[in-house]
Structure 1
Amino acid sequence: MTKSIAALLLCLITAGAAFCQKSITISGKITNPASDNIIAVNASNTRIVPENKQEKLILDSSGAFKITIPVTEQYNWLILVHNNIRLDFFAEEGSSLMLTADGAHFDTTAHFTGRGMEIPNYFAAAVKSRGGIMAYYGSLQQMGQREPSDYKQGIDSLKQKEQAIYDIAWMSKKNKFPKDFTDFWHSFLEYSVYDAMLNYPLTHQMILHQPTELQNIPKPLFDIIRQVPAKFDDKLLSIPFYQTYVQTFYGNKLSAEGFSNQVIRNPDGTEERSKALQQTDSVLKLVYKNMPSGTASFAAGRIIATESKTWPLQTFETYAAGFKTHFPKSGYNAELENVLKEIKKFYPGEPAADFSFKTLEGKEMKLSDLKGKVVYMDFWASWCGPCKGEMPFAKRVKEHFKDNENVVFLYVSIDEKEDAWKNGINNLNIAGMHTRTPGWGGEIARLYEVQSVPSYFLIDKNGKFVVNKTPRPSQTDEVIRLIEGLL
């Protein structure tokens, strides 16, 4: 009898199936705490609308804390943040961990004891030696600046190095590292490469500050996408890189063959979405036909939920109905119903929720004070790589409107620390109006249901939303056209 089956039987016998909630418990003590709290985030879930729930815990007078994190997967990507320093690691469901760390060097002094400690300690050690998961991801992204001729070799080398380091550690502790976690981690690394390859043309252009509109991307960059294999497996759905891989696989493959999903403009300036919807039709047909059931329901649901921000309500309802026809018993149907409710809140013509804020200069304001002006609102963070990548493009947009006082660029940072926020503004030389809503749970971020950064909203002179999905600054011509149409 395996350990997991034995645990399940014990749970059923002692508590009943309804109470068999999977969880991970972490207690700990931070010496020399640099702030009065620690934030815990579970980044692993298979929702079609990504949800990284966080919980802020206040440390007691000795620096101690305890949290029980509900989980849905066997292996979960957890994030602990103290004093704006994050520690990323994986832990198995059912683990009961004790963490010790020094607050001044939270990530590099972290150490775990207790049941299930081996896996998180491997990742804690990786932070000390080479920066950990996020450093690996950052290196993958930086590879995007390479030309196609040596890009694939570069990312393969990164993956192989990371895998070799793990395999050496596993061989030395093979009685403590579960074999199925080794398979999980190998797949994590494999799909991190596939995901990077699928996004290579856009990443390459952004790093080099070149146009990101599909028609302006050099054709040779798309050769990398053509090399990505079709490898689908329902057992891998808990891996974040597998999730983004299946979501973007067919759409990016079609783009590589010249099938544009860009908005088409009619001569009179109105939008024609038929081309984009034709691509969505094609993508969903391929997903339904070629992916296994679990992967197909996730990929189709994620595509519909994500793209819905650019569609009329009737179009979304049509796609949601098609999804329900294919997967009538899927729990994702309820998620799509919730997406519909959210779309209506941010639909063009709906009033933008008002909020109070304090500017960088200390002035107390409300969003409604800006009525009569067009507001381009940017949710960002100083630690966010994609946010930083958009800033040079934002500078071009602001330069275009530099003499127009009726256009306001409002930057809302989710930085936890005021110093990090201010340093980010100075280091990136971000001109505009600034405020801060600390963390994902900050008042303004919650009001606008911001689940990721960067996120953008365009608000007209009457304080109403303009489009379902506001284009990024890197879509420079599109942003300028929309704002000019509101003046």
Structure 2
Amino acid sequence: MNKSMIGLLTAILAVSSLMSCKNSSQEQPVKKVVIYGTISNYEQDTLFMDDYTSNYKYLEANTHKIPLNKNNEFSYTFTLEEPRYFKISRTYLYLSPGDSLEMKLDTGSRADAIFKGQGADANNYLRSLPYPKGGSFFGELRDRDLKLKSKEEMVGTFKPILDEKLTQVQELTNVSNTFKELETARLYLEYANTLESSGYLYYSDYYQKKITEDEMNAKIADAETYLTPYIVETYKKIDYNNVDYLQFEVFQGSIFTLNNDEYITKNNLTPLNNELKDYIRASNLKYAFTRQGYTKEFLDYYNEEIVKIKEKKYIGSLTKELDKYKLLKPGSPAPQITFTNLKGEEIPLSTFHGKVVVIDLWATWCGPCMVEKPYYEALVEKYKDNDNIVLLAVSIDTHKVWTNYFTKEKEKGIQLHINRSDLAAYQIYSIPRFFVIDKDQNIVDVYAPLPSTGKLEEMFKEIL
């Protein structure tokens, strides 16, 4: 073969190789998601987007922190391997690799959100999702000006709403079949949750003292007996052993109902599979983390339950959680944080070195916090002249809400503010939370008892 022929073949092979690489590159799916837009009625400089699929399905906390400019505008790009559900404030999102989505969000209502671009149809649909903790379809009564007086009316009232919503899902365009299948299952779960929420029929009469608590409970039990066949019929319409449903808030309640062996046998339902049973054990352990922290009692419970879990993904998730909570065990150095006072001055936790520090973590929107407030303020008053201790009231409200609160309310003790995002090391999942930190800035307990029990005072008195 002469040199010119060899040269020609080499060139052809090179071009062929380049074309092959190009085609291979073109076939790779785009795994980036771009979201941009604005958010109204929001007063922080960072937007928090919770990965619901990660948080619920995989039990791994994952929150995207999205910077906002002074006009509450944002633009954010991230990698996504699979379609997932997310949540920003009250707004649910369904994002898929390749989406490029313009958003106009409002923290006051997800129904007012507007989406445009690739992925818009699925997200515009999600604006109409009911609130599971509010009894799901019960919110439709108000929106549709419907009245409901008895358990017998529940099926006749809510079943047409379910059918209407099922049709709406099937008529969606520019969404995947997977999305339709998931949202269809969600609607059945919401409907079952609605029928399981018959107590809403009687709460008003109870609070208005028209019926006693015993009478209310008897009515609820009677309604449950009547509605159970309809609930069971609904569960039979879906494969509730599908772990993808774990992404739904409403399914978190359903799996505990379906994990009752007596309920399953009596109603001829399929038992939960082993993966979901493992999920329930893991979920219970994770909840215990958030309530108890790294204590001997918790560790005894953890060691007893972890050996029962076989799914490696849940074991891995719990191991990561345990490592985070180890940092909060009694005797560990308290993670350093910085507060702001009403004058706008920064106050580091280290300012109080040499004193026992007690912290009440609260917010104006937190009902239980406001219940505990008088008890804590009584301790503030009692120990105000004791130089060995300082009691701080630390709000996680928005700064504007916090400062406005004290234009109407009198300051009692030391009032400070902190953004919730700055408390990440303390694993804050709910409030009220009370901290006790010793004079050397070591943790005594960051899951300290409520002041109303009297045990909080007992705890800090031991180290004064």
TM bin, normalised by shorter chain, reads: 0.5 to 0.7
Q: CA deviation at 1:464?
A: 3.8
Counterpart in the other structure of 1:372:
355
User: Is 1:54 aligned to residue 64 of structure 2?
Assistant: yes
Counterpart in the other structure of 2:316:
334
**Aligned AA for 2:286?**
A
Counterpart in the other structure of 2:6:
none
CA distance in 2, matches of 1:243, 1:448: 25
Counterpart in the other structure of 2:16:
none
**Aligned AA for 2:165?**
Y
Counterpart in the other structure of 1:285:
none
> 8 Å contact 1:301–1:336 — kept in the other structure?
yes
CA distance in 2, matches of 1:39, 1:218: 43
Residues 392 and 312 of structure 1: CA distance in aligned 2, closer, same or farther (over 3 Å): closer
1:71-113 deviations in whole A, cap 9, x for unaligned? 65x451332xxxxxx4503325346243253889996764223
Counterpart in the other structure of 1:293:
274
User: Is 1:453 aligned to residue 430 of structure 2?
Assistant: yes
SS at 2:415 equivalent: strand
SS at 2:288 equivalent: helix
CA distance in 1, matches of 2:274, 2:287: 20
CA distance in 2, matches of 1:157, 1:464: 60
**Aligned AA for 2:278?**
S
Residues 233 and 32 of structure 1: CA distance in aligned 2, closer, same or farther (over 3 Å): closer
Query: Which of 452, 457, 460 is the aligned partner of 1:486?
Result: 460
User: Is 1:466 aligned to residue 406 of structure 2?
Assistant: no
CA distance in 1, matches of 2:195, 2:307: 29
> 8 Å contact 1:75–1:181 — kept in the other structure?
no
> 8 Å contact 1:413–1:421 — kept in the other structure?
yes
Q: What is the percentage of aligned positions where both structures have the same residue?
A: 16
CA distance in 2, matches of 1:141, 1:395: 37
Q: CA deviation at 1:63?
A: 5.1
1:168-207 deviations in whole A, cap 9, x for unaligned? 6446657868531432331452465589789x9xxx8xx9
Counterpart in the other structure of 2:102:
99
1:14-29 counterparts in 2 under 5 A?
A: 14=24, 24-28=33-37
Counterpart in the other structure of 2:421:
441
> 8 Å contact 1:197–1:225 — kept in the other structure?
no
- Unaligned 5+ segments in structure 2 are 1-22, 140-147, 208-212, 263-269
Counterpart in the other structure of 1:420:
401
> 8 Å contact 2:330–2:445 — kept in the other structure?
yes
Q: CA deviation at 1:421?
A: 2.9
The total of aligned residue pairs comes to 393
**Aligned AA for 1:40?**
M
Residues 464 and 192 of structure 1: CA distance in aligned 2, closer, same or farther (over 3 Å): farther
Q: CA deviation at 1:34?
A: 8.9
Q: CA deviation at 1:218?
A: 7.6
> 8 Å contact 2:162–2:191 — kept in the other structure?
no
Q: CA deviation at 1:396?
A: 3.6
Query: Which of 329, 332, 335 is the aligned partner of 1:347?
Result: 329
> 8 Å contact 2:49–2:64 — kept in the other structure?
yes
Counterpart in the other structure of 2:11:
none
Residues 70 and 192 of structure 1: CA distance in aligned 2, closer, same or farther (over 3 Å): farther
Query: Which of 394, 414, 417 is the aligned partner of 2:373?
Result: 394
1:235-292 deviations in whole A, cap 9, x for unaligned? 32121232355469879x99xxxxxxxxxxxxxxxxxxxxxxxxxxxxxxxxxx9642
User: Is 1:234 aligned to residue 242 of structure 2?
Assistant: yes
**TM-score of the aligned structures, taking structure 1 as reference length:** 0.61
**TM-score of the aligned structures, taking structure 2 as reference length:** 0.63
> 8 Å contact 1:191–1:241 — kept in the other structure?
no
Query: Which of 107, 114, 123 is the aligned partner of 2:117?
Result: 114
Q: CA deviation at 1:310?
A: 5.8
**Aligned AA for 1:482?**
L
Q: CA deviation at 1:51?
A: 1.8
Residues 192 and 158 of structure 1: CA distance in aligned 2, closer, same or farther (over 3 Å): farther
Single out whichever of 165-174 and 336-345 deviates more from structure 2.
Answer: 165-174
Residues 223 and 436 of structure 1: CA distance in aligned 2, closer, same or farther (over 3 Å): farther
Which has the larger Rg? 2
> 8 Å contact 1:38–1:59 — kept in the other structure?
no
Please give the root-mean-square deviation of Cα atoms over the aligned residues, in Å: 5.3
User: Is 1:41 aligned to residue 46 of structure 2?
Assistant: no
- Unaligned 5+ segments in structure 1 are 1-12, 80-85, 127-131, 144-148, 209-216, 255-288
CA distance in 1, matches of 2:118, 2:319: 40
